[in-house]
Structures are given as C-alpha cells and as structure tokens.
Structure 1
Amino acid sequence: MPKAYWINTFRVIRDPDRVAAYAELGGAVMLAHGGRFLARGLPAAAFEEGVAERTTLIEFPSVEDAVAAYRSPAYQHALTVLGDAAVRDIRIIEASG
C-alpha cells in the first residue's frame, strides 16, 4: 500500500492562539494515526500561482490512515477548537511509485 501525504495550507489566520490550540490537539491525532510531520511553516519559495502561506506536510502509511485521522472524533474536536480562526485547504494525496 503506498504512503499518503496530507497537505494543509492556511489561506487566512484570524486567531493565532486558536490555531496554536488546534495544532496541539490535531498534531497528537496525526501522530496517533501513524502520521509523521515532514515540513511546516512558510514556503522557502513560491512560483507561478504559488502563494507564501503557512503549509504543513504530513506523511501517513496510507490514504486510509490519513482519512481516518481526519474523520476521527479527536480530530473533529480539534476542528471545533479551531472554529473560524483560519481558512484552510487540505489535500490528501497518494504517493507515486
């Protein structure tokens, strides 16, 4: 089964304190589902239509593990804590090869 990558981009951050609380709760969920944080922060470079937005890249053993993390009650609680404190774009993609 190929690995999967969760790409989380923060389009807008309205409340950094609630984002930090979400990150603490959500990060624990990612780790509990086999996630491994590979990168997080602002891009070192952005090209073409790229925008310098805070981004997180998390590797999972499979797409199923990543989706299970998102759908888990603990992550849904983290989303409740986040509320409208940020506008985000989340993608889960399967590794190639």
Structure 2
Amino acid sequence: MTAYWVNTFTAIRDEDRLRRYAQLAGPAMRAAGGRFLARGTPVDVLEGGPGLRTTIIAFPDAAAARAAYESDAYQDALRVLGDAATREIRVLDGVDEP
C-alpha cells in the first residue's frame, strides 16, 4: 500500500544549510523509490502554526519510507541539516476507498 512521508518544518534557523540539505535529500528520496507530490510553503494556513516549508513524498509502502530515512544518502543530508531546522516527520499509509 502506498505510504506518504509528510515532513513539516516548525522552525528554520539557517536557510543555507536547509538548501544544502534539500540538494542531498531530494536525490536520496528518489533513489529509495520516493516521488515528490508537494513541497514548499503552504499557499494557505487554515489552522496551526506559521506555515513553514512542508514536503509530501509518496513511497511504495511504509517500509520503503523507513528505508529511505535510514539510508546512508539521507543520513548524509541530515548531518548537513544538523540543528538548522526543527521539524516533524510522519509516515502515513494511503487509504483504499471504493
């Protein structure tokens, strides 16, 4: 079942390091079978925080999303990001509706 990685930044302290992280993280996600569905700042915030950068990536399943996170390539990206941002990452199973 398709799974969705939802990455929401709650604080960004260093835009340059975030940019370098994204340059490494994007190819790492694609190499692990991820497909970017949406990324950037929200066009509208209906509830909640300030509306910082959010990314949604589709994976073949939750195991593939976990493997992407644990991959050497993504761990390299995380080292670049370091404490430059605070974020929340969730992996959700897709919904099969008739």
Query: Is TM-score (shorter-chain normalized) higher than 0.5?
Result: yes
Q: Which amino acid aligns with 1:27?
A: G
Matched, 1:13 2:2: no
Matched, 1:30 2:29: yes
Q: Distance in 2 between matches of 1:62 and 1:50?
A: 29
Q: Where do residues 1-97 of structure 1 align in structure 2 (5 Å cutoff)?
A: 2-49=1-48, 51-97=50-96
**TM-score of the superposed pair, with normalisation by structure 1:** 0.93
User: Cα deviation per residue 1:18-60 (whole Å; 9 max; x = unaligned)?
Assistant: 0011001111110001101111111122223354121001111
Please identify, of 38-47 and 65-74, the stretch whose mean Cα deviation from structure 2 is larger: 38-47
Runs of 5+ consecutive residues of structure 1 not aligned to the other structure: none
- Give the paired residue count: 96
Runs of 5+ consecutive residues of structure 2 not aligned to the other structure: none
Q: Distance in 1 between matches of 2:48 and 2:79?
A: 31
Q: SS at 2:25's partner residue?
A: helix
Q: SS at 1:52's partner residue?
A: coil
Structure 1 vs Structure 2 CA RMSD = 1.1
